[in-house]
């Protein structure tokens, strides 16, 4: 390899990588605000759907179920607290199930919404279905357990997807509600120090 | 790869779609063809992403082919491929976030697709702009066609729906949307594709005499 070759190789790599870097940063600069807005929009819509009556839903702080970042919110109507929304994660069959849970002032579940998951299509992804999620309405923390078979008191498992059903019910929702009960009734202003961006 | 000498752009395009179809003929990149094809929407967007990357990579390499030093061609090919993949990723996250949430992981894997690097090395680095573009488009359309067919079949028969809308009220053969069913679906469609091709060839042969 001659000196000329080395210079040519160096120039080749430097120029190509510089151009590549420029193109990437240009696309990133244009796409990233939109990506950020998309995520915020998804969260805002989820909150609105969970607490349709509230006129303000504000972030109270963050917590970390399964070492992940999760937020919790307070919902108010006419200045009065009507309930809380908490984000939680459940360890499912093949993914962490990202769930939002709305509770009323007495910490009874009002509605749940699953934002993202990677459970088995056709089996585990039934957790997205209304019949499964509607079971959570008005359940208190003692009834957040999965039963295989018919039940009105507790949560009925999806056949063929007991692990996914359990992950949502006994991991995500139950821990989320338990966290809210503990934080709101006992601590008051826990976790405010985690309010980083 | 006798196509190098052919100047006919249409032949180059059809070569990628039919004669050297990445999945049905070369049996390359089978992992994504099973992993993302359990519903039509994911299959189509994944195919579209590959079509875009393959075409852009071929164009870029063919334009640079005279200035690339042969000793560093592979690092440069890899940069070009991963650059275009990253662009695709960011655009999808910005404009189709719900699809990106499902196929995002596999989009990143396009970087390692044997078929894309192979076209850059064997074709685009030796041919000028137009033939390279035709080759890239052909290969990409072939891939898109294969993924669309597989995911159409799997979602319809496995889940009874298409593009997320229910068509039949039952799940005829649930197995097909499970990972194992992916192998069956690819196998069945690959056989069908080759059978149709063989029949067409048999029909064309006597006519040539």
Residues forming beta bridges with residue A80, ordered by sequence position: A77
The answer to whether position B189 is within a domain reads: no
Task: Locate the domains of chain A by residue range.
Answer: 1-50, 54-194
Q: What is the mean pLDDT of chain B?
A: 88
pTM: 0.77
Q: What is the mean pLDDT of chain A?
A: 89
Q: Which residues contact B3 (CB under 8 A, 6 or more apart)?
A: B11, B12, B15, B123, B135
The answer to whether position B164 is within a domain reads: no
Asked if the model's pLDDT at residue B179 lies above 60, the reply is yes
Instruction: Flag whether the ipTM exceeds 0.95.
Output: no
The answer to whether position B184 is within a domain reads: no
What range does the domain containing B140 cover?
Answer: 9-148
How big is chain A, counted in residues?
197
Task: Choose, out of B59, B60, B69, the residue to mutate when testing the contact with A (most A CBs < 10 Å).
Answer: B69
The shortest CB-CB distance from A121 to any of B64, B93, B177 is to B177
The answer to whether position B73 is within a domain reads: yes
The answer to whether position B199 is within a domain reads: no
Reported as a single tens digit per residue, the pLDDT across A162-196 is 999 999 999 999 999 999 999 988 765 444 444 44
The answer to whether position B66 is within a domain reads: yes
Q: Following CA atoms A154, A42, B106, B116 in sequence, which dihedral angle do they give, to the nearest 10 degrees? A: 160
- How many secondary structure helices (H) and strands (E) does chain B include? 8, 2
Reported as a single tens digit per residue, the pLDDT across B103-157 is 887 888 888 888 899 999 999 999 999 999 999 999 999 999 999 999 999 999 9
Name the residue with higher pLDDT: A48 or B106.
A48
HSE of B157 in the Cβ direction (CA atoms, 13 Å)? Answer: 16
Consecutive H or E run containing B182:
helix B179-208
In the A/B pair of chains, how many CB contacts fall below 8 A? 66
Q: A42-46, A91-95, A189-193, B148-152 — which is least confidently predicted?
A: A189-193
Q: pLDDT at position A75, please?
A: 93
Q: Are strands A80-91 and A96-104 parallel, antiparallel or unpaired?
A: antiparallel
**Which residues numbered 167-186 in B keep a CB inside 8 Å of some CB on A?**
171, 174, 177-178
Q: Is B175 helix (H, G, I), strand (E, B) or coil?
A: helix
> How many structural domains comprise chain B?
1
Instruction: Give CA separation, A122 vs A62, A149, B40, in Å.
Output: 33, 19, 14
Q: Is A86 helix (H, G, I), strand (E, B) or coil?
A: strand
Inter-chain CB proximity B71 and A1 less than 8 Å: yes
| C-alpha closest to that of A65 among A100, A39, A113, A40 | A100
How big is chain B, counted in residues?
209
Q: pLDDT at position A136, please?
A: 95
The answer to whether position B171 is within a domain reads: no
The answer to whether position B182 is within a domain reads: no
Reported as a single tens digit per residue, the pLDDT across A5-41 is 899 899 999 999 999 999 999 999 999 999 999 888 8
* Chain A residues close to B99, C-beta within 8 Å: none
Under DSSP, the state recorded for A171 is I
């Amino acid at each position: 390899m001659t000196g000329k070759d080395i210079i040519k190789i160096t120039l080749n790599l430097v120029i190509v990588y510089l151009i590549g870097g420029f193109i990437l940063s240009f696309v990133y600069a244009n796409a990233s605000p939109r990506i950020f807005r998309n995520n915020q929009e998804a969260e805002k819509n989820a909150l609105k759907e969970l607490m349709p009556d509230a006129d303000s839903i504000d972030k109270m702080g963050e917590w970390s179920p399964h070492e992940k970042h999760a937020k919790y919110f307070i919902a108010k109507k006419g200045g009065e607290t009507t309930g809380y929304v908490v984000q939680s994660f459940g360890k499912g069959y093949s993914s962490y199930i990202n769930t939002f849970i709305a509770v009323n002032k007495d910490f009874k579940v009002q509605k749940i919404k699953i934002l993202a998951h990677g459970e088995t299509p056709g089996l585990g992804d039934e957790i997205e279905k209304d019949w499964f999620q509607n079971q959570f309405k008005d359940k208190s923390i003692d009834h957040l357990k999965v039963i295989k078979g018919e039940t009105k008191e507790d949560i009925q498992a999806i056949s063929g997807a007991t692990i996914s059903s359990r992950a949502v019910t006994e991991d995500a929702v139950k821990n989320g509600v338990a966290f809210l009960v503990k934080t709101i009734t006992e601590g008051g202003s826990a976790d405010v120090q985690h309010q980083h961006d | 790869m006798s196509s190098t000498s052919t100047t006919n752009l249409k032949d180059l395009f059809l070569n990628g779609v039919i004669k050297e179809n990445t999945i049905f003929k070369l049996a390359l990149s089978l992992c994504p063809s099973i992993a993302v094809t359990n519903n039509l929407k994911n299959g189509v967007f994944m195919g579209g992403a590959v079509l875009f990357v393959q075409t852009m990579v071929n164009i870029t390499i063919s334009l640079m082919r005279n200035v690339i030093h042969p000793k560093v061609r592979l690092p440069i090919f890899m940069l070009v491929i991963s650059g275009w993949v990253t662009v695709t990723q960011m655009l999808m996250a910005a404009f189709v976030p719900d699809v990106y949430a499902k196929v995002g992981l596999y989009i990143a894997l396009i970087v390692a697709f044997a078929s894309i690097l192979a076209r850059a090395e064997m074709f685009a680095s030796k041919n000028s702009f137009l033939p390279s573009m035709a080759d890239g488009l052909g290969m990409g359309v072939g891939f898109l066609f294969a993924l669309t067919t597989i995911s159409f079949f799997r979602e319809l028969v496995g889940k009874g729906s298409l593009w997320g809308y229910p068509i039949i009220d039952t799940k005829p053969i649930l197995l097909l949307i499970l990972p194992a069913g992916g192998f069956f679906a690819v196998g069945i469609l690959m056989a069908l594709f080759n059978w149709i091709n063989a029949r067409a060839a048999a029909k064309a042969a006597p006519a040539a005499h």
